[in-house]
Amino acid sequence: MNNSKISSTVLLRISGCFIFDVAVILAFFKVVGLFFIIAPGKSSFMLLVLLIGLLIFNASIILPSMLFKSIGIPYSASTVTVMLLYVIVANIISIFFITGSTAMYIVWELIIFAGLLVVLSIICTFLKGAEENIFKIEIEREDKTSVMLQLLQIEDTLNKKENEEYFLSIINLFKTLKERIKASTPFGRIIGNSSVFELENQIKNNLVSLQEGLETWLTDKKSIKLEKSFELNELIRLEKLIKDTRTLVINRETLNIK
């Protein structure tokens, strides 16, 4: 249903543009027809300018949604506005120079067209910067979400063991680590620093290892009788993993400052 509506809308736009184009071209030949005999070169150039203008005008009417999706509303609106201004100004110059100098007419048309290209290139430059910023924001959002989700999963696993006194040390260490991560620069924000990138990956890998270690320990404890020596060694290993991860977070902030 939506596709048929979209197709009907596009068809109506195309039909409207086609009727408008035919009317404008017929009007052009009505007004300038005599000049094709007197000054065929200049008249042909005027027709070319008109056709380019109509092509740009048609594109701005028929395909705005494609521009919106690809470059966003602000940049697409700027692009369409500049293109329509070119169409208006270029054809106004044609009217003013219809009986004037052919050389001056061509010069002014080329200047206007060059101005269009310059403005479009400036818009493209800002668009490229905007796209890079959007890319950075997306990376930061994904990394931040991934890390916070991992922390929540670890916290959920730890809550299942909070009644076990010997496990309180890990719970307290993890709370300190979580607070340190939340207070630090969001993951994914620092771009272009390979050392920071490696530290962030190591921190995320450590969090995964911590989660897996806790879940494995919890599963084994329910299914089999673990020896106290094994539990103690596992406790020490997980404590060290949390401490090492906190150190990596601090080192990451230090590198960011430098």
Convert the pLDDT of each residue in 131-159 to its tens digit: 666 666 777 677 778 888 888 888 887 77
The pLDDT of 43-55, averaged and rounded, is 79
User: What pLDDT score does 73 carry?
Assistant: 64
Are 88 and 187 in the same domain?
A: no
User: What pLDDT score does 55 carry?
Assistant: 82
Domains: count for the chain: 2
| Two tokens, residue 60 | 């701005």
Distances from the Cα of 146 to the Cα of 132, 155, 244, angstroms: 21, 14, 20
At residue 2 the predicted structure's pLDDT band, cuts being 50, 70 and 90, is very low
Is pLDDT at 3 greater than 60 in this prediction? no
What is the total residue count of the chain? 258
At residue 13 the predicted structure's pLDDT band, cuts being 50, 70 and 90, is confident
- More confident: 143 or 164: 143
Are 142 and 237 in the same domain?
A: yes
User: What pLDDT score does 219 carry?
Assistant: 67
Q: Which domain holds residue 217?
A: 137-257
Are 87 and 197 in the same domain?
A: no
Is pLDDT at 5 greater than 60 in this prediction? no
Which residue shows structure tokens 């620092």?
190
Are 182 and 248 in the same domain?
A: yes
Q: Is residue 8 part of a domain?
A: yes
Q: What are phi and psi of 210, to 5 degrees?
A: -65, -45
Are 95 and 49 in the same domain?
A: yes
Q: Is residue 189 part of a domain?
A: yes
Buried b (16+ CB within 10 A) or exposed e, 30-61: eebeeeeeebeebbebbbebbebbbebbbebe
Are 85 and 159 in the same domain?
A: no
Are 253 and 142 in the same domain?
A: yes
Q: What is the DSSP string of 10-60?
A: HHHHHHHHHHHHHHHHHHHHHHHTTHHHH-HHHHHHHHHHHHHHHHHHHHH
Lowest-pLDDT range of 6-10, 146-150, 162-166? 162-166
User: What pLDDT score does 251 carry?
Assistant: 85
- More confident: 8 or 246: 246
Is pLDDT at 181 greater than 80 in this prediction? yes
CB 41 within 8 A of CB 102: yes
Convert the pLDDT of each residue in 79-134 to its tens digit: 777 877 887 888 788 777 766 677 787 888 888 888 888 887 887 777 776 666 66
Q: What is the mean pLDDT of the chain?
A: 75
Which residue shows structure tokens 């060059």?
114
The pLDDT of 26-54, averaged and rounded, is 74
First to last CA, the chain: 57
At residue 223 the predicted structure's pLDDT band, cuts being 50, 70 and 90, is very low
Between CA 166 and CA 170 the distance in angstroms is 9
Q: Is residue 51 part of a domain?
A: yes
| Two tokens, residue 253 | 């902030």
Between CA 258 and CA 254 the distance in angstroms is 6
User: What pLDDT score does 1 carry?
Assistant: 45
pTM over 0.95, yes/no: no
